[in-house]
Amino acid sequence: MSLTGAPDSATSGAGRRILLGVCGGVAAYRAADLVRRLRERGHQVRCAMTPSAASFTSRLTLEVLSGAPVYGEGYLVAGVEGEEQHIAAARWAEAICISPATANMISALALGLAPNFLATTVLAFRGPLILAPAMHPAMWEKPVLQENLARLAERGVIRVGPVEGPLASGEIGLGRMADVLDLVRAIEACFVPPDLVGTSVLITAGPTHEPIDPVRYLGNRSSGRMGFALAAEAARRGARVCLVAGPVTLATPPGVERIDVQTALEMDAAVRARAAQSDLIVMSAAVADFRPAAYEPRKIKRHEGTPALALTENPDILASLALLAPDAIRVGFAAETGVTEGEAERKLRAKSVHALIANDVSRADIGFGSDHNEVTVYRPGLPSVKLDRRPKAEIASALFDLIRPLLESPRREADRSRR
């Protein structure tokens, strides 16, 4: 159950062999969707059910969707001796995901017990293990369960969820299984190459809010999802990540240091404090170009008439990086309403960046507020690269594949080694 024991064949960019363990809980019905999603993305999937799982979902359903026989008590897979099936399953898998993971399974794994085929297979497995807990909040909150989860975390086991939401009991609370797409991302993240180890990455995300009075502000519709996806991807690749986040409600990605700000001036100060120590700076925040010239300390009243709102320019944080961090690789985002190559090339030169990522925020299916994006990457002296519409997590992975080579030079390696 150690991440460090992943098979040598686990390299990025190819379909993987995923063993999906299904425990006996109401959320077991979602295993079918998880199998479908994984296979859509090119992965091979086999399933292993605990004896109680059969009360909540069909073995035949999982066999049809996965295209492979289901492992479990009383299920014999052709060509494998019965007493060795758990060894064969463990050797076949490159990752094991248990979804849903019940309190019983979590505790058994923490104590090294093997009460069923799935637990026995996990004990024989040396690669990454992902758990998706699902249970009633009263069970989730038990100290003994949290102690067992802590034991598993110390061994490198990855936990995704649970999340707060409606439960089978009709209540709302913390204990609902994580979203299937979040599980897919967690599984695939196990195979991300650690190619940013030793690299310091500074990322900005979200909007800025420029206060007019105590209740009003100038802002934009940026959700911060693109920047948070970039931070999560950089951390998965082994970087030391500092995320400067505007006013958003997103959860901090694991392993990421977060600095919360509200205004462009606050974001500018946070970036200035960290820029010189960074190897890579990615400015994905949608920073307000202007702010009110004067702040009204009391709420502006309608009956007093329409106020005259004078604006003043905010600092151009991206353009300032050439002086603040001349040795860093600098990447900017350009949120445009209709991207043109000429404007992108102009910004690339004017901002003195190594890469400019342009996206069209006028489209409802990408950009602000969407889980998807479509971008074009511009770099000096190189042809532009278009990344067609896809989830922002996938855009983040593809962007780092394009950006990472910019970090590779003898001088930059020497600089990093001295830090």
What is the spatial distance between Cα 370 and Cα 362, in angstroms, rounded to a whole number? 12
Beta bridge partners of 282: 203, 331
E strand or H helix at 345: helix 341-350
What is the spatial distance between Cα 32 and Cα 299, in angstroms, rounded to a whole number? 53
HSE-CB for 352 with a 13 A CA cutoff? 12
Rounded to 5 degrees, what are φ and ψ at 172?
A: -120, 125
Any residues with CB less than 8 A from the CB of 91 and at least 6 apart, and which? none
Residue type at 8? D
Q: Is the dihedral of CA 269, 274, 279, 281 positive or negative?
A: negative
Burial profile 122-149: b = 16 or more Cβ within 10 angstroms, e = fewer: beebebbbbbbbbbbbeebeeeebeebb
> Catalytic: 373?
no
Residue whose entry in the numeric block shows the structure tokens 């990421």: 256
CA quadruple 69, 71, 75, 80: dihedral, nearest 10: 80
What is the spatial distance between Cα 128 and Cα 389, in angstroms, rounded to a whole number? 29
Name the pairing type of β-strands 290-292 and 311-313: antiparallel
> Which residue in the list 148, 220, 314, 359 is annotated as catalytic?
220
Active site residues: 220
